[in-house]
Amino acid sequence: MTELWDTVLHPLLPSDNPPHKPPADLYPDILHKDFECVVNGTKASGQGPLRDFTVLATSSFAASDHVRHQHVLLRPDVLFTTGTIRLRHARTFISWTRPVQEDIPILLPYSATAVADANTEQLRTVHFVCPLIASLLKAGMPAKLRPVLLSPDSVKMFCSLRGIGVKPEIITYNALLGVAVRTASWGQALAIK
């Protein structure tokens, strides 16, 4: 079970050779065919929310350290773990440029529960909580980026662009804001909440 979780966490951990673009399928062999994940309250079948979180957290930030605080096997097929990943701002993120003289560490505390299928030894569900936006704001990210990062459509656009190899410094705040505002305007016009 620990090996399965370590494979899930691997793209977020320090690496000497980070990928140029995120792979479309982060975990091809370890997920059960009925895999479900919940990331910060967003639930979906498949790895979408977990992949999107990983893309956001690694596109402009490099992991420099990982501390595992708690790692408890609750049952042979259920793991609970907590930890902190330390990131450093490596390049521009949605028009937020890296501070020239300051290297403020970005601390990402997380907790996760992972459940494996006893028959296939593949992950069946993952519940992952990590306050990425709050951690970025604490490290100096402009507050104006918050609505963009809270918009599922803006996040999907950002992750899609990164998936085809567009560098994060080219993806602008205005482009993502246009997606977020358009979605909100349509929702208001149609009385969708």
Supply the DSSP string of 120-157, one letter for each residue.
Answer: T-SEEEEEEE--HHHHHHHTT--GGGHHHHH-HHHHHH
Alpha-helical segments (H) within 30-172:
48-58, 132-138, 146-150, 152-163
Q: Which pLDDT does position 62 carry in this prediction?
A: 87
pLDDT tens, position by position, 22-77? 555 666 678 888 889 999 988 888 888 888 888 898 888 988 888 889 888 888 88
Position 3 confidence tier, pLDDT thresholds 50, 70, 90: confident
pLDDT tens, position by position, 107-150? 999 999 999 988 888 889 999 999 999 999 999 899 999 999 98
- H or E element: which one contains 80? strand 78-89
Of residues 155 and 2, more confidence is placed in: 155
pLDDT tens, position by position, 91-105? 889 989 877 767 788
* Long-range contacts, stretch 86-90, CB < 8 angstroms, 24+ apart: 87/57, 87/61, 87/62, 87/63, 88/61, 88/62, 88/64, 89/60, 89/61, 89/139, 90/60, 90/61, 90/62
CA–CA gap between residue 67 and residue 70 (Å, rounded): 9
Q: Which pLDDT does position 146 carry in this prediction?
A: 92
Q: What is the CATH number of domain 2-141?
A: 3.10.450.50
Mean pLDDT of the chain: 82
Q: How far is CA 53 from CA 78, 101, 119, 160, 190, in A?
A: 22, 28, 28, 12, 29
